[in-house]
Each structure stands twice: as C-alpha cells, then as structure tokens.
C-alpha cells in the first residue's frame, strides 16, 4: 500500500506514519530526514540544512530527494510518506513520478485535530523537547501556513477519492486504530 500521511503540525502525523508503516511492513519515508541526509552529503549542505531547519525548502529540492528515495527497491511493495507532498507542485510531481513507474497513491490520510488541541500539543512539545521553533506566535503561524498551503492538496485528494479523514484527537493507539479502519475502507473501495 502506498500512503501519504498529512496533517497540521501537532497532529501526530509522524507518530501515526511510523505506526502505519510498521503495521504494513513498508518503509516510513520522512521528508525532513531525507533533507538532513541530503544536506550532509551535499556541498551546499549549510544551505539545505538551514532550509530543512524551519525555512521553506524549494519544491524542486524536496521532489528530488523524495523521488530518489522512492526509486529504491524497498518501496516496490509500498511506503508511507511523512511530510510529502506539502504543495500542489509536489503532489503533481508525486503523481507523475508514480504514474511513470506504473504505480499510484492508494490513500492520503488526513489527521483532523481541532486547532486549540494542536496549539496545546505543540506547546507541550516545546516544553518536552526544548524546541526553539515553537513559540506562541510561531505555533499560530505554522498552523496558518498549513491551512493555506495544504488546502488545495486536501481538495485534490478528496476529488480523486483518495482522501481519508481520520479523527486525530486522542492517544496513539485509538488514533492508529482509526487510521487502520480508514485504510481498510479504502482497500474495499478499489
């Protein structure tokens, strides 16, 4: 199964993507990890590292590292994308790349979590992880950017019949069960 996990900051998408990949026995492909690896291997590492550290990364750079990862043999049986696509250009590139390799995305799992809960989760993460990128103004801004940029992507997947909305409010196990139920429904629809 080929799935992308989408959701706002604080929705638990990385946690759920990791759990889903383990349940499916497929690679969990984390865009930020790929960007950090590319930064370490690239002569322009400082530039890529700065972008990966919180600034926007050019779509072409992101597409290049993700499609290179998708080209590896371990993704033939499926994958769970975490943090990709985030823009319409990335989504178009993913669809094109998959079509060129004779594959398609099976589902886009959207973790729905109320904004107030997202802000609380991000604040807790700041306290636990001592992250300096999650101040109150930054938290609100990141959610605003998410809502603006991912709106067209969510609409695209909904029109394509691939969007699966999952209530992401709750602890890991109940949310994971809802993700698995959504995927089972997705499999029955094909």
Known catalytic residue: 159? Answer: no
Known catalytic residue: 86? Answer: yes
Helix (H, G, I), strand (E, B) or coil at 9: coil
Spot the catalytic one: 13, 121, 139, 178. 13
Q: Identify whether the C-beta of residue 48 lies closer than 8 Å to the C-beta of residue 58.
A: no
Known catalytic residue: 2? Answer: no
Spot the catalytic one: 86, 121, 139, 164. 86
Spot the catalytic one: 2, 142, 162, 178. 142
Known catalytic residue: 131? Answer: yes
Give strand pairing partners of 166. Answer: 111
Euclidean distance between CA atoms 111 and 113, whole angstroms: 6
Known catalytic residue: 115? Answer: no
Q: In what order do the strands lie in the sheet with 107-112?
A: 28-30, 79-82, 2-6, 107-112, 163-167
| Of 14, 161, 23, 93, nearest in space to 4 by CA | 14
Helix (H, G, I), strand (E, B) or coil at 48: helix
State the catalytic residues: 13, 86, 125, 131, 142
């Amino acid at each position: 199964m080929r799935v992308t996990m989408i959701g706002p900051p604080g929705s638990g998408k990385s946690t759920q993507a990791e759990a889903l990949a383990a349940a499916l026995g497929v690679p969990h492909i984390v865009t930020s990890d790929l960007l950090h690896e590319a930064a370490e291997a690239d002569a322009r590492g400082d530039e890529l590292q700065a972008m990966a550290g919180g600034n926007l990364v050019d779509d072409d750079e992101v597409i290049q590292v993700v499609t290179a990862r998708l080209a590896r043999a371990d993704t033939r049986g499926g994958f769970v994308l975490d943090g990709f696509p985030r823009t319409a250009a990335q989504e178009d590139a993913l669809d094109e790349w998959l079509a060129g390799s004779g594959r398609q995305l099976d589902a886009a799992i959207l973790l729905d979590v109320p904004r107030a809960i997202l802000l609380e989760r991000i604040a807790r993460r700041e306290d636990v992880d001592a992250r300096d990128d999650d101040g109150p103004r930054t938290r609100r801004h990141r959610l605003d950017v998410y809502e603006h940029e991912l709106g067209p992507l969510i609409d695209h997947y909904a029109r394509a019949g691939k969007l699966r909305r999952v209530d992401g409010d709750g602890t890991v196990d109940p949310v994971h069960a809802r993700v698995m139920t959504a995927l089972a429904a997705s499999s029955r629809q094909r």
